Amino acid sequence: MFKFVVVVSIFCFVFSLTTLAFAREGIQESSKSSSGQELRLEFKENKQNLKQDFKERKDEFKEKEASRRAELKEKKLEMVKKRFAYLSRHLNAYLLRLDRVSNKISSRIAKLNAKGVDTSVGQAKLNEAKLLRDLAKVAIDKAIIDAQSVAGAADIKVATDKAVVSIKDAKTALFNYHKKLVEATRALKVSRELREGTESAEKD
């Protein structure tokens, strides 16, 4: 009987130790599982934070880029407006100078006519120049309108190209006006020299 009690006691003791060992292993496994889950959650959270941070940085970059492009567009438009404003003033100033030349030629014709000089050729050239002057004025007005329309245009490039073409046309029209005035001046010079040559021959 005593041996039986001893054996049972030993069995209970061993069973207790085994149970305790399994309990410890269970606790360790549970602890490991809990720790692994925490790591996964932390990793997932960090990944989400990185994604959010990347998205914020990307949005910030897009905003800065859009702002930079808008600023460059505004500067370019302002430069174009100033350039066209200068060209418009230049075209009108050129026209005004040519008009002064035209008036001087008219005055010259009147003086030569008073002296009996035949100015018919010079007068014809001047008349042609005045017609070209009207065409130049129309071309300049169109160039100015096209240049001013650039600022409010939906397509800046198309409007700018159109204004550039109009300005070139205006310059060409002014050149033609100028050329005809030069022809009128030369015709009057020939008429005067011819008259002076005739008078000199008559005196001789």
d(CA 154, CA 172): 28
For the segment 190-203, what is each residue's pLDDT rounded down to a tens digit? 877 766 545 544 44
First to last CA, the chain: 181
Beta-carbon neighbour count of residue 161 at 10 Å? 13
> At a CB cut-off of 8 Å and minimum separation 6, what does 98 contact?
133, 136, 174, 177, 178, 181
With contact defined as beta carbons under 8 Å apart, do 175 and 203 qualify? no
For the segment 121-144, what is each residue's pLDDT rounded down to a tens digit? 999 999 999 999 999 999 999 999
For the segment 84-126, what is each residue's pLDDT rounded down to a tens digit? 778 888 999 999 999 999 999 999 999 999 988 899 999 999 9
> What is the reported pLDDT for 201?
40
> What is the reported pLDDT for 197?
47
Cα 184 to chain center, whole Å? 44
d(CA 163, CA 95): 19
With contact defined as beta carbons under 8 Å apart, do 174 and 98 qualify? yes
d(CA 174, CA 178): 6
Torsion on CA atoms 125, 127, 132, 133, rounded to nearest 10: 120
d(CA 18, CA 8): 15
The residue whose two tokens read 């399994």 is 22
For the segment 29-51, what is each residue's pLDDT rounded down to a tens digit? 555 556 667 777 777 778 777 77
Beta-carbon neighbour count of residue 37 at 10 Å? 10
Which long-range CB contacts under 8 A does 80-87 form with residues at least 24 apart?
A: 80/150, 80/156, 80/160, 81/150, 81/151, 84/147, 84/148, 84/150, 84/163, 84/167, 85/147, 87/143, 87/147, 87/167
